[in-house]
Chains A and B, each alone.
Chain A
């Protein structure tokens, strides 16, 4: 009860010193208030001796708590710990509830580098009122204030035991164990806190989230929460915390189990699983994501979530295929179709299109179906039908522009160059600006190139390469160089005509014809500037056909035949990379990478070659 008048007195003084409230000043003798104010001013300006003299006088005249407290603080500021302690000792004699004073005494002893005496003083503080919860809180704060977290946590544990209430001090102990890096014990306290009040979940997550990057935090916490879930399986907050911890640790299979259970127990009808599946897919945990999507479709196939799950599954398969670089090869080493995830993506998109014909996402899904057919499986007829549907049914939809562009590419692939040109021209005129418009312009230039209309191609390319903010600018610059050096020897630029035709054939996946055309061109115009380009192109086609040994021979031949070609270093690099990646001959690869560095030391590929050598020889880089 004595705390209340003390507090009021101190408040009055504080207000008086701050000159905020004239009414309060009236409650304190004006002369005392003025002296106190002067002492405070001295303390603020670092004139501790003057301040202490005034405060000692004030306290002698009127032993109020405010003067006492200020005087102790002034002694502490000057490290006169003995004086401060003596002051407390004198006051202790008349204080019936001395927990605060003993705690303060202990803290000062600790700062005076007398830790054993400090410990005794803290014990005295506890002994003063061992059956009150507040005692432990006050003493804990005093101990934690000098960062003796181990002692502080031991005290609170003792307090629980003495008071016979194991539900006390969870938050405080969680904090202390965290500070001691005892993350498992911290989590036990936090879990108990959540068990008492589920609203604490976000508070706990936020505390853990800040520390999650520190080593050991998540793993130690997971173990504890797993036990918690086992012993209290119906607590959603426990499970949410566990799922969140699994995701933080990258443990997707157990995370799936956890979210599956939440979804089931809370009758979420797939919503929780759907969010999780997206997270797993983004983290490339494809198998887990697939399991989640499949479960949603199996169990909640008639609910609205099913349509998004089906689309999510399709996109996940496409991402999976790209991650596995499925587009490179049609069959894997065992002779199986290596495009199985692309196939599954296509099937899922097609299923979506047939099951949800009125979905607002349908144009995008149809575009996905068409693109997979066209770019991955080279099934041009179904792709064409789908693209025309998108263009005709959804003329004002963003997907329609992309579909129109794809149609242009499709015409190109099937050899209808005029149709392709019309398609790209219409699109370019409609859009005018933007990436798609620039891509359409580039394709028009390429059509001119394939047809041998080199001046027209050059004029278009010249305009495109100026816009360096666009992705097509790099391709345009490369084409410009080719058009410049490929002219002659006759007025028709026959070798370049053949080369352009071969490029078109390659694009149409007529690889054998392309190879034949390139070989003819090389045989007919052995000294032409594009011969090295033709050789390089041939090698690239052979790689596409999986004929790595033949491709290697051509790549290796190019720098020998055309040592000053700007393709020589690239060719040597490709030869070395084939030896490393496809032909399984690392020694040969090192030798070729070395040759690249020796013969073309200024090559942009020299850095990559250096790195590959170091990886191959096992350097720690």
Chain B
């Protein structure tokens, strides 16, 4: 034990020496750097959120050192940063002013966004434990961002109005239970189906697909009224598929007991969707795919965590602050990861939707954003940014081992985006 500690200490000393030591007196502000020096990028979002809950306004310095945060000095904030293991630098008034001046300079593609209010966050997820991890819940839990779980009943009861922000992950709004037909004899599948059917019947729907459509349409109205929606993995395409198929039946007999409508394809209404159009649902119950929106697995030659990646687009921080906020990161290329829905085929993405990240050279979109009436939506493909191919039954990812995950940062950018003070767009 003693000898182990000695070795560990040597390493620790080297690490300690490599860390910048901030001036300790007359601090005016606290700079939370989000570039490569940050020890825990994910918890940095949590502390920023925490500061907002305490009524402390935070400046988000877009494109400055990876999208850093400038927080007015407060002993409690400093203590919280330290306790949560987030790197920070104390800055004097003059240093802060210089940083702000630098960020506001017209010659730099940087901008300051004032974060004012902690958004109320809801995660759409069942209470039932399912045998796969939920990257959204993992990110929020690890970053210690308070959130509440809501599900079908809550959505239909109008509970969405209580939240600024709704997050979805591996969901299936088409009523096909994730197309996990091969798992249909397992208890978790049976229970999932039982609960969904019970809810559907209690709400007067004969089929689960009808229930899920009603939920999707309620979420659509929530966004139209100014809500923020973030969806990942199959939560993205199934949401749009369900909306498009409002007037037809695209669910195979294996899932809802009756066949699909023979004219289902011609009955799809793409005006109802957020991000996708001109897609074709997959009618084979045994095929683990909902539609041709998803480009499927990466080509075999790059289907490898070491070679698969996607690139973030760079936007004008002053002219396009929203896409800039959503793409804040300390790297520009993010390692790829596979989900039931991984990348969106470009030809199925509606014009007007902003592409935030793409798989280079593959005509595939990884991350997109758009507005719908008063609200916005953001879709992010893939299942778990730190588990290249997450299989059913795999243990959840331990984010203690991925505190600097660029892929998870993209999820957390979204929680702060609704906190930004709205200012008039430059013309």
Instruction: Find the A residue at minimum CB distance from B10.
Output: A566
B3 touches A566 (CB 8 A): no
- Shortest Cβ distance from A430 into chain B, in angstroms? 27
Chain A residues with CB under 8 A of B6: 478, 481-482, 566-567
Q: Please report which residues of chain B, range 1-40, place their CB below 8 angstroms from some CB of chain A when the two chains form the complex.
A: 2-19
A570 touches B5 (CB 8 A): yes
Instruction: Find the B residue at minimum CB distance from A482.
Output: B6
Chain A residues with CB under 8 A of B9: 566-567, 569-570, 603-604
Q: Which of B3, B84, B249 is within 8 Å of A479, CB to CB?
A: B3
- Shortest Cβ distance from A176 into chain B, in angstroms? 11
B266 at the interface (CB under 8 A from A): no
A474 at the interface (CB under 8 A from B): yes
Q: Which of B11, B186, B187, B194 is within 8 Å of A604, CB to CB?
A: B11
- Shortest Cβ distance from A590 into chain B, in angstroms? 10
Query: What CA separation (Å) do A602 and B21 show in the bound complex?
Result: 11
Most buried by A among B9, B10, B185: B9
Query: What CA separation (Å) do A92 and B257 show in the bound complex?
Result: 24
B13 touches A602 (CB 8 A): yes
Q: Which of A78, A79, A179 is within 8 Å of B190, CB to CB?
A: A179
Chain A residues with CB under 8 A of B261: 79
Kindly supply a per-residue 1/0 record for chain A positions 415-436, scoring 1 wherever the CB is within 8 Å of any chain B CB and 0 otherwise. Answer: 0000000000000000000000
B85 at the interface (CB under 8 A from A): yes
Chain B residues with CB under 8 A of A181: 191, 194
B259 touches A604 (CB 8 A): no
Instruction: Find the B residue at minimum CB distance from A606.
Output: B85
Kindly supply a per-residue 1/0 record for chain A positions 465-478, scoring 1 wherever the CB is within 8 Å of any chain B CB and 0 otherwise. Answer: 00000000011011
B83 touches A179 (CB 8 A): no
A211 touches B187 (CB 8 A): yes
- Shortest Cβ distance from B73 into chain A, in angstroms? 16
Q: Please report which residues of chain A, range 63-107, place their CB below 8 angstroms from some CB of chain B when the two chains form the complex.
A: 76-79
B7 touches A477 (CB 8 A): yes
- Shortest Cβ distance from B90 into chain A, in angstroms? 12
Given contacts A566-B6, A605-B12, contact A213 B190 (CB under 8 A): no
B187 touches A603 (CB 8 A): no
Q: Which of B7, B83, B188, B206 is within 8 Å of A597, CB to CB?
A: B83
B262 at the interface (CB under 8 A from A): yes
Chain A residues with CB under 8 A of B84: 610
Query: What CA separation (Å) do A106 and B258 show in the bound complex?
Result: 14
User: For this complex, into which size category does the number of interface residues on chain B fall?
Assistant: 35 or more
A602 touches B18 (CB 8 A): yes
A584 at the interface (CB under 8 A from B): no
Chain A residues with CB under 8 A of B7: 474, 477-478, 481
B3 touches A478 (CB 8 A): yes
Q: Which of A79, A213, A481, A621 is within 8 Å of B258, CB to CB?
A: A79
Instruction: Find the B residue at minimum CB distance from A476.
Output: B3
Q: Please report which residues of chain B, range 178-211, place their CB below 8 angstroms from some CB of chain A when the two chains form the complex.
A: 185-188, 190-191, 194, 197, 206
A478 touches B4 (CB 8 A): yes
- Shortest Cβ distance from B253 into chain A, in angstroms? 9
A597 touches B82 (CB 8 A): yes
Instruction: Find the A residue at minimum CB distance from B208.
Output: A147
A540 touches B2 (CB 8 A): yes
B12 touches A48 (CB 8 A): no
Chain B residues with CB under 8 A of A479: 3
Query: What CA separation (Å) do A499 and B421 show in the bound complex?
Result: 64
A254 at the interface (CB under 8 A from B): no
Secondary structure class of chain A's binding surface, majority of residues: helix
Chain B residues with CB under 8 A of A601: 16, 19, 82
Q: Please report which residues of chain A, range 529-572, place their CB below 8 angstroms from some CB of chain B when the two chains form the complex.
A: 536-537, 540, 566-567, 569-570
A180 touches B187 (CB 8 A): no
Q: Please report which residues of chain A, range 439-478, place their CB below 8 angstroms from some CB of chain B when the two chains form the complex.
A: 474-475, 477-478
Query: What CA separation (Å) do A497 and B362 show in the bound complex?
Result: 67
- Shortest Cβ distance from B207 into chain A, in angstroms? 9
A147 touches B257 (CB 8 A): yes
A76 touches B197 (CB 8 A): no
Instruction: Find the A residue at minimum CB distance from B185.
Output: A210
B16 touches A600 (CB 8 A): yes
Instruction: Find the B residue at minimum CB distance from A115.
Output: B206
B16 touches A602 (CB 8 A): yes
Query: What CA separation (Å) do A601 and B9 show in the bound complex?
Result: 12
Number of interface residues of A (CB under 8 A): 48
Chain B residues with CB under 8 A of A147: 197, 257
A481 touches B10 (CB 8 A): yes
- Shortest Cβ distance from A336 into chain B, in angstroms? 27
B206 touches A478 (CB 8 A): no
- Shortest Cβ distance from A108 into chain B, in angstroms? 10
A135 at the interface (CB under 8 A from B): no
- Shortest Cβ distance from A616 into chain B, in angstroms? 11
Instruction: Find the A residue at minimum CB distance from B14.
Output: A602
Kindly supply a per-residue 1/0 record for chain A positions 374-396, scoring 1 wherever the CB is within 8 Å of any chain B CB and 0 otherwise. Answer: 00000000000000000000000
Chain B residues with CB under 8 A of A567: 5-6, 9
A491 at the interface (CB under 8 A from B): no
Q: Which of B12, B144, B258 is within 8 Å of A569, CB to CB?
A: B12
Query: What CA separation (Å) do A602 and B20 show in the bound complex?
Result: 10
Query: What CA separation (Å) do A145 and B16 show in the bound complex?
Result: 66
Chain B residues with CB under 8 A of A474: 3-4, 7
- Shortest Cβ distance from B132 into chain A, in angstroms? 15
Instruction: Find the B residue at minimum CB distance from A598.
Output: B82
Q: Which of B10, B83, B185, B190 is within 8 Å of A613, CB to CB?
A: B83
Instruction: Find the B residue at minimum CB distance from A147.
Output: B197
Instruction: Find the A residue at minimum CB distance from B24.
Output: A598
Chain B residues with CB under 8 A of A583: none
A594 at the interface (CB under 8 A from B): yes
Query: What CA separation (Å) do A114 and B30 show in the bound complex?
Result: 66
- Shortest Cβ distance from A267 into chain B, in angstroms? 37
Given contacts A111-B258, A211-B187, A610-B84, contact A475 B4 (CB under 8 A): yes
Query: What CA separation (Å) do A408 and B261 show in the bound complex?
Result: 81
- Shortest Cβ distance from B185 into chain A, in angstroms? 8
Instruction: Find the B residue at minimum CB distance from A568.
Output: B9
Chain A residues with CB under 8 A of B3: 474-475, 477-479, 482
Query: What CA separation (Å) do A477 and B7 show in the bound complex?
Result: 7
Q: Which of A48, A180, A604, A621 is within 8 Å of B8, CB to CB?
A: A604
Query: What CA separation (Å) do A210 and B185 show in the bound complex?
Result: 9
Kindly supply a per-residue 1/0 record for chain B positions 248-273, scoring 1 wherever the CB is within 8 Å of any chain A CB and 0 otherwise. Answer: 01000000011101100000000000
A603 touches B16 (CB 8 A): yes
Query: What CA separation (Å) do A282 and B16 show in the bound complex?
Result: 42
A397 at the interface (CB under 8 A from B): no
Chain A residues with CB under 8 A of B83: 597, 610, 613-614
Query: What CA separation (Å) do A78 and B12 show in the bound complex?
Result: 70
B12 touches A600 (CB 8 A): yes
- Shortest Cβ distance from B265 into chain A, in angstroms? 12
Chain A residues with CB under 8 A of B190: 179, 211
B257 touches A145 (CB 8 A): yes
Chain B residues with CB under 8 A of A597: 82-83
Query: What CA separation (Å) do A78 and B249 show in the bound complex?
Result: 11
- Shortest Cβ distance from A435 into chain B, in angstroms? 17
Footprint of A on B, CB under 8 Å?
A: 2-19, 79, 82-85, 144, 185-188, 190-191, 194, 197, 206, 249, 257-259, 261-262
22 A-B residue contacts at CB 8 Å?
A78-B262, A79-B249, A111-B258, A113-B206, A115-B206, A145-B257, A181-B194, A210-B186, A474-B7, A478-B4, A479-B3, A481-B6, A566-B9, A566-B12, A567-B6, A570-B8, A600-B12, A601-B16, A603-B12, A603-B16, A604-B11, A621-B144
By Cβ-Cβ distance, the 5 closest A-B pairs, closest first, are: A478-B3, A602-B16, A602-B15, A566-B9, A604-B12
Footprint of B on A, CB under 8 Å?
A: 46, 48, 76-79, 111, 113, 115, 145-147, 179-181, 210-211, 213-214, 474-475, 477-479, 481-482, 536-537, 540, 566-567, 569-570, 594, 597-598, 600-607, 610, 613-614, 621
- With A477-B3, A478-B5, A604-B11 known, 13 other A-B pairs at CB within 8 A are A113-B206, A145-B257, A210-B185, A210-B186, A213-B187, A475-B3, A566-B13, A569-B12, A594-B82, A598-B82, A602-B13, A602-B15, A605-B12
